[in-house]
Structure 1
C-alpha cells in the first residue's frame, strides 16, 4: 500500500491531538482506534508512521467532535490578520491626509518621510531580524500582537485552549512562524503604502494641489539634490521628474506653480512610492511566502517526545499471529488468533549490552546479559575496544531515574561513535526509584543529541 504524502496541516492537526491527549486523555473516547492496523513489518518508516498518526488523529477528531476546537485558532489568526490590515488602511490614509496643507498645498518631503520613512525603518528591522535570526525584530509590533493576543491563556485547561496552544507553537514559532509573521508584516506595510497612495491619487484627481518643500536646518541645496538622486531610477523608467528650476521654484514662499511643475511632482511622488515602497515590499513578501512554504515542507514532528515514542511502539509494531497451543474445550471451533507483543519494541536478539554507571539494584530484562558496566576509566577503555569489534547492534543501558548530565552525554556519544551500526538505548528502572515524565523526557533528548534514532529508544 503506497504511503500518502502528508501536508503541514496534517502535522499541525496531529500536534493539536497530542496536546489535547496529554492533558485530557481521560475525557476522550478511543473506540474508533481500537482496531487501528499496525505496520506490516517491524522497520520504522517516518512517512508510514506519520500516515498512521494522521489516520489515528482523524478518527479521534471525528469520534470526539473536536474539529471546531481545532479550527478555532486558525480562524482567530485570520480575524487578527484582517484587523491588522484594517488598521493599516486607516494609518495609511491618515498619513497621506496629514501631509495635505490647508491652502491646497502638499508638502512633498514630509509626505515621503511619513509614508516611506516608517516603512524603511520597518524593512531594515526585518532584514536585521532575519539575518540575525531575531524573531522580535523580523516580526514587527503589530504582527507580534496579532500572534500574541488569542493564545496567551496558557493556564486555561479547556480543549479549545490546548488546541490553540498547539497551533500557535506549530504555526507561529520556529522557522514556520518566523516566515508566517513576516508575510503578515509585509502585507501590513503594503496595505499601508497602497492606502496612502490611493488616497493621494484620489485627492489629486479631485483637487489641484501645489507641491512644496522647505527646510530649516539643512542647506538649501540638500532637498533639490535628494530629488535628483531619488528621481534617477524613475527617469530610467521613462518618468518625468522635476528639474532643478522646478524644484527651486517649489520651495515654500515662492511663486505659484504651473501645470507642468505640478504634473512632474505628482509623477515623482507616485513613482517614489512605487519604486522605494511598494516594489521592495512585494519582493520581500514573495520571498517570505516562498520561505514559509519551504519551512512548512521541512517541518517535522519531534519524535523524541514520549508521546510519539509510545505511539511508535504501538502503531509501528509488527503484527504476528499465532495459534493457541492449549486445547480448546469447544470442539470444532477454529483455533483463536492472538496478537503477540510488538516485535520491533523487543530488544534485538543479538544486541550486545553495556551499562552506563549502573548500580546493583538496577535490573536488566531477563533476555539481556550485560557484557560490561562502565564505571571508571579502565572499564571505559575496555568498552570502547569491545564495541569497535561488535558483531551485533550496540545496546546501552542507563538508569532512567538519574538526571543525564553532560558527562554521561559525552560518554554515550563516544560509545555511539565507536559503534558500526545503529545503537539502541534502554531506560532501566527500579522499584525504589520511580521515573518521572520530565526525567524520561530528558533521556529522550539525550538520545537525540547522541544520534540514537527515536525508534531505538526502549523504556523498560
Structure 2
C-alpha cells in the first residue's frame, strides 16, 4: 500500500469517528503500541487495522477501480470531442475552408478555458473543480461500494492541506484537453491526407493587411519548428477564392497544423507535465495534522505516559473473521486459557511441562493483561476453554476472536458438563454455529496432545 493510500485511509477513519463517534479500537490500539514508532506511525497503524476490519481497504480498492474506469470514460469523451472539433473545422470537403473559422473551431474553446484555468489557479486555485467533482462522482458510482462514499471527502481534505488538489485537478484538466487536441490533430491530418481542401479567408469589416499580419504573427512560432507559412501573395489571393495551386494548399495546411500544435497541444502538454511534477513533489510533504481533535485525543491511548488496565469499550456490533497476524517464526510455546469458569469447576487440569497456564479470564484487568502479554510474546498454539452452559454472547466471542488473532494456531475447548448435569443442546448448537462463523476449530475433549506436540 502506498504512503498516500495509508494517509488517505487514516483520514477516512478520522472523519468516520468524528461523525459517528469513536470506534471499538482496543485491539487496534494495543497492536499499534506493540509496533512502536512515533505518534503518526502509530496512528496510521491503528487506522490500517480498523480499515481492514471494517472493509475500508476493500472499499478503497473498489474506489480506485472505479476511478480508473471513470478516467477511461472521460478520456474516450475527450477523444470524441477532439475529433468533433476537427470535423467541424474542416467541413465536408465540398466547400472551401475558412482558415480563421477553422482555427477558431480548433482552438477557441480550448484557449478560453486554458486562460480561465490559469487565472483561477493564480487567484483561487479551485478552477476546474467541476471537472474534478465529475470524476469523483463517476468514481464513486462505478465503484459500486457503499463504503466508498466515505473516501472522496477524506481525500479532498487531505489534499487541501497541502493545496495539492489544484495540481491534481490540473493534471486531470490539462491531460484531458491534451488528449482532445491530439485527437483533433490526428483527425485533421487524416482528413487532409484523404481529401482535397481549398483555403480562403472572408471578412466584411477588416482589411487584407490585418489578415496578413495576423497570419504571419501566428505562423512565426510554428515556422521555427519547420512549418511553412503562406506568403503575402498567397494570403491576398486567398481572400478572393480558394487557390488551386498545390503549393498554396500545402502552405495553408501546414500553417493550420503548426498553429494547432504550437498553440493547442504544446501548452497543454507543458502544463500537464508541470502539474504532474508539482503533484509528485507535493506528495512527499503530505503529513497528518496532529493538531486535529481526532488525532490529538489518540496521543494518550497510543503513547501513554502510564500503563492503563481494563477494557472500557463496548462489544462490537458484529464479529469479524479470525485471521491470525502471527507467523510460526514469531511465536513459541503453548498456552491454555479459560474464559469465565464457575468456581465449582476444578481448574487448571494437569498440563504437560511445555504448556503454560494463563488462568481464568474473569475480569477486565485479567483480559487486558493477557492480551498485552500475547502481543509481545505470541504463542505457537493456544487453547481456549469455554463453558458451553453459558450463552455465546458477543463479548465472549469477540474476546475469543481477539485471542485467536494473537496466536499462530488456536483451538476452542468446549468443556463437558459437571457430573450429574447435562448440557443444553440448543445452547451447545449456538456455540457450534458461532465458532464455525469465526472459522475456529473446536472440540469437547481436552486438546492436550495438540498443545504439547502440535499434532493430534
Q: Is TM (by shorter chain) over 0.5?
A: yes
Q: Cα–Cα, structure 1 residues 297 and 133, in superposed 2: closer, same or farther, change >3 Å?
A: farther
- State the distance in 2 between where 1:271 and 1:198 align: 13
Deviation at 1:274, TM superposition (A): 1.1
Please report the RMSD computed on the Cα atoms of aligned residues, expressed in angstroms. Answer: 3.4
> For residue 19 of structure 1, what is the aligned residue in structure 2?
15
> For residue 87 of structure 1, what is the aligned residue in structure 2?
77
> For residue 277 of structure 1, what is the aligned residue in structure 2?
264
- State the distance in 1 between where 2:129 and 2:255 align: 29
Query: Aligned ranges for residues 284-363 of structure 1 at < 5 Å?
Result: 284-318=271-305
- State the distance in 1 between where 2:301 and 2:133 align: 39
Deviation at 1:173, TM superposition (A): 7.9
| Deviation digits for residues 219-261 of structure 1 (CA, Å, limit 9, x no counterpart) | 222222111111112222333211111112222x425421111
The DSSP-based 3-state class of the residue aligned with 2:199 is: strand
Q: Cα–Cα, structure 1 residues 209 and 79, in superposed 2: closer, same or farther, change >3 Å?
A: same
> For residue 73 of structure 1, what is the aligned residue in structure 2?
63
Query: Aligned ranges for residues 54-453 of structure 1 at < 5 Å?
Result: 54-102=44-92, 103-135=94-126, 137=127, 139=128, 141-147=130-136, 159-171=147-159, 175-251=163-239, 253-254=240-241, 256-318=243-305
Q: Cα–Cα, structure 1 residues 241 and 181, in superposed 2: closer, same or farther, change >3 Å?
A: same
Q: Cα–Cα, structure 1 residues 276 and 35, in superposed 2: closer, same or farther, change >3 Å?
A: closer
Unaligned runs of 5+ in 1: 41-46, 323-332, 340-460
- State the distance in 2 between where 1:36 and 1:232 align: 63
Q: Cα–Cα, structure 1 residues 235 and 206, in superposed 2: closer, same or farther, change >3 Å?
A: same
> For residue 41 of structure 2, what is the aligned residue in structure 1?
51
Deviation at 1:64, TM superposition (A): 3.1
Unaligned runs of 5+ in 2: 310-356, 359-364, 370-456
Bigger radius of gyration, 1 or 2? 2
Residue-pair matches, total? 312
- State the distance in 2 between where 1:192 and 1:158 align: 33
Deviation at 1:198, TM superposition (A): 0.6
Deviation at 1:14, TM superposition (A): 0.8
- State the distance in 2 between where 1:180 and 1:225 align: 39
- State the distance in 1 between where 2:241 and 2:95 align: 15
Deviation at 1:192, TM superposition (A): 1.5
- State the distance in 1 between where 2:234 and 2:161 align: 52
- State the distance in 2 between where 1:234 and 1:162 align: 49
From 36, 55, 59, the counterpart of 2:32: 36
| Deviation digits for residues 19-65 of structure 1 (CA, Å, limit 9, x no counterpart) | 2334456776754554432687xxxxxx8222212222222233333
Deviation at 1:195, TM superposition (A): 1.0
Deviation at 1:128, TM superposition (A): 0.9
| Deviation digits for residues 318-368 of structure 1 (CA, Å, limit 9, x no counterpart) | 56699xxxxxxxxxx99x9998xxxxxxxxxxxxxxxxxxxxxxxxxxxxx
C-alpha contact 2:79 2:180 (8 A) present in aligned 1: yes
